[in-house]
Chain A
């Protein structure tokens, strides 16, 4: 029987041949090598096996297993608990994963990843073609590779590939993503050698060609895939031009690789490549260029291309042959199945938060904003299991925390009713989505997905209904459980009382309810809420100044997004006055006190109160003696972010 999605996306769900294998569709799971779930000594952990099992069952025709480093010294090891394949002792778990992938009917590919410039995490140095120092402080100082070391390194790659094939993988992959050893040799930024491995574009490509050759000779007729940059995004600093990248892509094809995968950017690149500020589909042109240059070489592509519809069209238009997906399947491992079944509107889209990568670079296991089970696949506490006792659950607040909890609890068999004081679901997230400068559709998609899912599940949502103690007294014994997901608000008590006539407006009122403000705006609070509103107002033509008590703005913003806000406020010309205390809110504006006690007034037509924030916990004590069980989820515990709201709501829903 043809499923609706197979008709809707005929190219994506078309069977394909690759290197003698028949693939169920044209979707390749792109390596997300690093999870930091593994053992420190390179062994794959049970936690990783459980995650990989889920990945195997995503419905992709081809699955790439995370990149393993190939050398016993760990020069190629880029992450805290990256897996290794330099010895047969590591093989049993690799075999297990190949088995999972085959059981799911997919082609299994093993990636070998030598992190080069970003490697040597345990040994205090990294190896490179030349000793160009780091531009990010957390990486290790470089040592130049001798020719003997280059030959040894190539041999180690080939040996690791041979081991992968012995483990049952159908093919192997090497990667230059995102500035790893292969990229370091190819790039004029890091390759300053004067021997045959450096200098001209072709000489810089020699390491790659020898690597391809040695691997091909070692693995016989099994396919080799290579991931190369279509653009390094390091142009500001004299890296390879796009033309040079493509010359090297041609070299790889000439050397006999079986599939090309195009990636974009280096970790230290000054520009964004995969963040939310990059529009979906932005990089497709690089794939199209590659396909035009190498029409007969199978091409995989998917950088910041989260949408099956767009991917299907790209394949139809001949821009690439396989949609290579990574983060969208971390965010929703069911995405391919949902798309196939015509349930695309239920997909939890990757919102490009980069929470995953932020955590990796802090040496922490990665998590996903949208997928609270990622990394917890083998923990029963994170599974939706039938509730032993069916309960009547009242959820107060229809933001992400409340809705996550409601959906999980409903799926477990509880009878759930959501109460929401406004006329829409989404909570404060709606405000963020509408004022987000990066890509409004990402955050809007989260709310849209909730709307679809709660409607399909038939969860009752009472809009325009704000539970109060009085109302609760009329509902006594109608609910067994109350979940407070009432979020956070501006802590006006922590600010001086606004004088009569002070043009004060709450940031959430602007963000969620569209409250109007005057031309000259002072935003009190330079954290997430204040910045988002300030940027949006400034973009709409208001003159905005941010006043922040802390030493810096963006303190509560995630590490990979701080720079983005800083860049935006600079681009928009928003002045930020930091390290000052608000002394008065008056009709004239905001009076601030500097560290030395001096005061000045910043004139404003409107004063937007955006911080500090406080949790809305008032109902807790009111309801405590009116219901059997009472819990809280999300910002009502402590103001944080979308990730915490989703994760907490879900976990609570699994537990009630």
Chain B
């Protein structure tokens, strides 16, 4: 997947750290169980049929610090180098939709799309490490622990 395949709208959405910061501030409780150092990334796969395991381009990071979760713009150039614990992958249209909803809280919509598997979630750390970072409660809230295997 080439960086250029990402639309301008999605790019703007991910670069809008201030807008996302407002969402994180509004959902402080959701991120409270996470330890200092926990990091979640959000990237685009381009179009709805763009591959999700072959990415590169801008990344929005939610970095948890002692002061709370901070939204930061970053770049993604591969799973190994991503430096995040979870990576959320959405298509451009979803990202644009989320961006348009930042003011009235995009998070419930994001959670819904994760549950519908319209947004892919990659786990870049082992389960034990994620638990140590306090992710268990977040998974519960996001409904991720419901997803199970083999349907």
Contact = CB atoms under 8 A, between A and B. Distances in A.
A272 B151 CA distance: 5
A237 B87 CA distance: 14
A190 B53 contact: yes
Contacts of A133: 79, 87, 122-124
B148 A238 contact: no
A190 B123 CA distance: 14
Contacts of B50: 238
A273 B123 contact: no
B150 A192 contact: no
Interface stretch (B8-16, B17-25, B113-121): B113-121
Contact of B115 (A135, A138, A237, A563): A563
Contact of B148 (A192, A274, A560, A570): A560
B143 interface: yes
A58 to B, nearest CB: 22
Contact of B139 (A134, A137, A178, A570): A137
Given A131-B80, A132-B53, A140 B126 contact: yes
A342 interface: no
Contacts of A567: 115-116
Interface string A268-292: 1111111100000000000000000
Nearest to B151: A272
Chain B interface helix/strand/loop/mixed: loop
A552 B79 CA distance: 32
Interface residues of A, number: 44
A3 interface: no
B95 interface: no
A189 interface: yes
A100 to B, nearest CB: 27
A563 B149 contact: no
A353 interface: no
18 contacts: A124-B126, A132-B79, A137-B130, A141-B125, A189-B51, A192-B53, A236-B120, A238-B51, A271-B151, A273-B150, A361-B148, A361-B150, A554-B146, A559-B146, A562-B146, A563-B115, A563-B148, A567-B115
Interface of B: 45, 49-54, 79-80, 87, 112, 115-118, 120-127, 130, 139-140, 143-151
Interface of A: 124, 131-141, 178, 188-190, 192, 236-238, 265, 267-275, 354, 357-358, 361, 552, 554, 559-560, 562-564, 566-567, 570
Q: Which 8 A-B pairs have the closest CB atoms?
A: A238-B51, A270-B117, A272-B151, A267-B149, A562-B146, A133-B122, A132-B53, A357-B150
